[in-house]
Each structure stands twice: as structure tokens, then as C-alpha cells.
Amino acid sequence: MGMASERVLFWQKKWAANQQILDLLDAGQFQTSQGEVLDAQTAAEVREWAARRVAECAMRLAEQRLPPSAGS
């Protein structure tokens, strides 16, 4: 696998992982590693962080001219 392909795969995986966090938050199913549900303020902070990461990953993938979901 070439260096460019490895970078694309890296950003696709990061995009998918952070999008999954947003999806779980939207469904009210996101929990900590200890199984605890987040309070509203913490959930909002996690949502903001994950949204920034999704946007960053999408930008990196756009630099490669590939959609975030390509190959997934």
C-alpha cells in the first residue's frame, strides 16, 4: 500500500470513529469506558470535540479528493 493510500485509510478510519461518536450521542447511547452515561454538559463538550474531528478528517480527505465514506 502506498503512502498516499495509507494516509487516506488513516483519515477514513478517524472520520468513521468520530462520526460514530456523534451518532451514539444523537441516539442517546454514548457511554464512558466505565459504562456511565454522560451528563448534558459533558455530552455537549464531547459532541463539539467529535464534530471538530469529523470536520478535520473530512478536510484531510478532501485534500486527497476522496469522500469520507469512500472505502468503508
Span 10-55, pLDDT tens digits? 999 999 999 999 999 999 888 888 888 888 899 999 999 999 999 9
Q: State how far the Cα of 59 lies from the Cα of 61, in Å rounded to an integer.
A: 5
Q: Is 70 a residue whose pLDDT tops 80? A: no
**pLDDT for residue 64:** 81
The residue with cell 469522500 is: 67
**Higher-scoring residue by pLDDT: 72, 47:** 47
Q: State how far the Cα of 65 lies from the Cα of 8, in Å rounded to an integer.
A: 10
